[in-house]
Amino acid sequence: MISGARLQLFDIDIFGQPAGAAVAEGTTTADGDFSISVPANAGTLLVVASGGSFIDESDQEPIVALKRRIQLTDNQISLSLLPQGQAAVAVTPFTTALVLRG
C-alpha cells in the first residue's frame, strides 16, 4: 500500500499514451485507497501514480508504526488502465508491467 501517492487520470490516444492534461487527480490515503470523480464522458483512462511512501515489509521490527518507510520520488511511477464504465482499479507492479507491455 502506497500512502500519499499522487494519482492522475489521462485520456489516451490510439497508442495508449496520455492525450493532454489530466482529466482527474487525487491522492492515496494512509491505507493506499483513493476515490476520484471521473468525468461522465470519459473513455478508457491511463492511471498514473507517482510519489508516496510504503512500509518496508522486510524490516524485522515487530511494531508496524516503527517499521522503516520507503519514500518514492515523483519520477517513480506505477501505471494502470481504467476501462470505460469501470468503477474500480488497482495500481500495482503487475498492472504497470501490463500497461508497458501494451
Range of the domain at 97: 6-101
Question: In this structure, is residue 95 part of a structural domain?
Answer: yes
Question: In this structure, is residue 75 part of a structural domain?
Answer: yes
Give the mean pLDDT of 41-51.
94
Amino acid letter, 68: R
pLDDT, one tens digit per residue, over 1-37 is 899 999 999 999 988 889 999 999 999 999 889 999 9
Question: In this structure, is residue 69 part of a structural domain?
Answer: yes
Is residue 59 within 8 A of residue 11, CB to CB? The reply is no
Question: In this structure, is residue 1 part of a structural domain?
Answer: no
**Residue 80: what pLDDT?**
95
Specify the number of domains making up the chain: 1
**Residue 36: what pLDDT?**
93
Question: In this structure, is residue 33 part of a structural domain?
Answer: yes
> Which of 38, 52, 24, 32 lies closest to 86, judged by CA?
38
CB under 8 Å to 43, separation ≥6 — which residues?
A: 11, 12, 84
Question: In this structure, is residue 39 part of a structural domain?
Answer: yes
Cell of 77: 511511477
